[in-house]
Amino acid sequence: MAKKNNIAVKRLPLDPGPAAWNSILPEAQKYPTLTSDIQADWVIVGGGFAGLAAAERLSQLVGNETIVLVEAGRLAEGPAGRNSGFMIDLPHELNSETYAGAHEQDLRQIRLNRAAIDFARDMAREYDIGPDVFDSCGKVTAAGSDKGVAHIESYRKHLETLGERYELRSAAEMKDWTGSDFYQKGLFTPGAVMIQPAGFIRQVAHGLSKRVSIYENSPVTEMQLGADHTVLTPRGKIRTKGVILAVNGHVQSFGFFPGRLLHVFTYASMTRALSRDEVKRLGGTKDWGVLPADPMGTTVRRSSDCMGSGDRIVIRNHATLNQSIEATPGNMKRAAMLQDRSFANRFPMLTGVDMEYRWGGRLCLTLNSVPAFGEVENRVWSACCQNGLGTVKGTLSGMMAAEQAVLGHSELLDQFIDYAVPSRLPPDPFLSIGANVTMRFKEWQAGIEL
């Protein structure tokens, strides 16, 4: 990677629609905007899963040094507060039967994911985060069609090969649990956690703020690199000896990994709070979530009354590649149409219940599924590009960046580091047209699983 002295940040994050999980909570604690010139031993840029995990791990490793975290917007307003809240230990795709060496690769990824979930669980304990926000309840992958059932069967075989625990759920059990008779089969695995994502980010930040100085509405617009680095925001700057970039796909806006990152948006809708009568008509249990058996299918969650936020249903589906790192109104409109259809298919007893919030959010992927990780300039580390399962892998890359910056090596870091770099992408417009056409085709193939 070419060495740079001065980095002008090309683009700041833009998130379409409100971060509903944050909007339904009581007003958040405010952190100041950086309005003066300060010094710190460490600066973390970005306050999502990676940034907060980096701050937590750094503060464990160098508790006597000063740590500053700067976030472009408000905490829990970015992707960290707008995801479906599944912290999952098992990869969505398991390769164990597919090619030699894949078994060990799957086990390695599961070990790493579990280390990250344990780290998040330790933070939840340390900061007194209750089960309404961090619930170690496992997860269910569910199928509504024969094709979905076949996906579940194939995944189950992989779990057998790996010696992983699971339970199958019948259509009747799925109905008792969700209230919907849409699902033909479910596959429960115990290692996942369901979080109220905005609640988790807020409470971790609150706990950390006793040891880490947090600034909101303080986007980094420039970095001057030298013996000491200077991190500039519109109204103040920070002199520091070490920087961890935890900005996910926006690491490209800092000039790193050009032509190697895929910027994918996915979308969600959340109903208004259900009335008592609607809750009765729905039936089922209070808090549950299902992931789709088909990768292009629909994630559904019911969340009941976390901090007085009401009993609501969240629907997530649709994905688009937007290399501009911005979603369009057209993307939002199509997502809304698909989500209304998915909701109606699953909850005919709730006809007439409107969506109160609709939003989209960014993911970052690479063609060869490796993160954009490591020391990208002298004493500047990247903990970016999570390739799906970003609540877990973001936590992992933040922990690992802190360990690399302070320790150089650790047992977990040696397992984590993949020496492959993100592969080069085909040029646009071929990439965007090809990827979006392929995703639309796969959505069509997903049938009613969407």
Ligand X SMILES: Cc1cc2nc3c(=O)[nH]c(=O)nc-3n(C[C@H](O)[C@H](O)[C@H](O)COP(=O)(O)OP(=O)(O)OC[C@H]3O[C@@H](n4cnc5c(N)ncnc54)[C@H](O)[C@@H]3O)c2cc1C
Residue 79 interacting with ligand X (CB under 6 A): yes
- Kindly tell me which of 11 and 108 has the beta carbon lying closer to ligand X: 11
Task: Tell whether residue 78 is a contact of ligand X (CB under 6 A).
Answer: yes
**Per rule CB under 6 A, is residue 50 in the interface with ligand X?**
yes
According to the binding rule CB under 6 A, does residue 119 interact with ligand X? Answer: no
Task: Determine if 179 is a binding residue for ligand X (CB under 6 A).
Answer: no
Amino acid at 211: R
CA distance 187 to 143: 9
CB of 384 to ligand X, least distance (A): 6
Q: What number of CA atoms fall less than 13 Å from residue 45's CA on the CB side?
A: 31
List all residues 6 or more positions away from 390 whose beta carbon is below 8 Å from its beta carbon: 49, 79, 83, 248, 363, 364
* Chain residue at closest Cβ approach to ligand X: 390
Give the H/E segment covering residue 342.
helix 329-346
Q: Which helix (H) or strand (E) holds 300?
A: strand 299-304
The residue with tokens 């379409």 is 16
Contacting ligand X within 347-366 (CB under 6 A): 361-363
Q: Does 70 bind ligand X (CB under 6 A)?
A: yes
State whether residue 440 is helix, strand or coil. Answer: helix
Structure tokens at 122: 């330790």
Residue pointed to by tokens 């464990």? 60
Smallest gap from residue 146 Cβ to ligand X (A): 26
17 in contact with ligand X (CB under 6 A): no
Of 7, 13, 290, 327, the residue at the interface with ligand X (CB under 6 A) is 13
Q: According to CB under 6 A, which residues from 256 to 285 bind ligand X? A: 266, 268
Least distance (Å) between residue 80 CB and ligand X: 4
Our CB check for ligand X shows the closer of 250 and 312 to be 250
Contacts of residue 167, Cβ cutoff 8 Å, sequence gap at least 6: 187, 188
Q: Is the peptide bond before 429 cis (omega within 30 degrees of 0)?
A: yes
Least Cβ distance, residue 279 to ligand X (angstroms):
24
Could you say which of 54, 56, 69, 82 contacts ligand X (CB under 6 A)?
82
Residue whose CB is less far from ligand X, 187 or 246: 246
Residue 120 tokens read as 């998040």
Tell me the longest C-alpha to C-alpha distance in the chain: 65
Q: How far is CA 113 from the centre of its chain?
A: 13
Handedness of CA 392, 15, 243, 61 (dihedral sign): negative
Given candidates 148, 374, 394, 422, which one binds ligand X under the rule CB under 6 A? 394
Strands 229-233, 236-245: pairing kind: antiparallel
Percentages of the chain per state (helix, strand, coil), in multiples of 5: 35, 25, 40
Does position 290 interact with ligand X (CB under 6 A)? The reply is no
Binding to ligand X by residue 250, rule CB under 6 A? yes
Selected from 269, 298, 317, 391, the binder of ligand X by CB under 6 A is: 391
Q: Is 242 in the site for ligand X (CB under 6 A)?
A: no
- How many Å apart are CA 298 and CA 436, to the nearest integer? 18
Closer Cβ to ligand X, 161 or 436, answer by number: 436
Q: 95 or 253: whose CB is closer to ligand X? A: 253
User: Could you give the count of Cα atoms lying within 13 Å of 241 in the half-sphere of its Cβ?
Assistant: 5
Residue 2, classified by CB atoms within 10 Å of its CB into exposed (0-12), middle (13-18) or buried (19+), is: exposed
Q: Annotate each residue in 296-335 with x if it binds ligand X (CB under 6 A) or - if it does not, as one string.
A: --------------------x-------------------
Q: Tell me: does residue 47 bind ligand X (CB under 6 A).
A: yes
We find the least distance from the C-beta atom of residue 395 to ligand X, in angstroms, to be 8
**Closer residue to ligand X (CB): 188 or 278:** 188
Stretch that binds ligand X, among 19-27, 271-279, 390-398, 423-431 (CB under 6 A): 390-398
Interaction of residue 199 with ligand X, rule CB under 6 A: no
Q: How many residues bind ligand X (CB under 6 A)?
A: 40
Collect all residues with Cβ–Cβ distance below 8 Å to 302 and sequence separation of at least 6: 178, 284, 286, 287, 288, 289, 311, 312, 313, 314
Q: Which is nearer to ligand X, 78 or 242 (CB)?
A: 78
Strands 38-45 and 236-245 come out as parallel
Taking CB under 6 A as the criterion, the residue among 207, 371, 390, 422 binding ligand X is 390
Minimum Å distance from CB 275 to ligand X? 26
Residues forming contacts to ligand X in the complex (CB under 6 A) are 9, 12-13, 45-51, 70-73, 78-80, 82-86, 219-220, 246-248, 250, 266, 268, 316, 361-363, 386, 389-392, 394
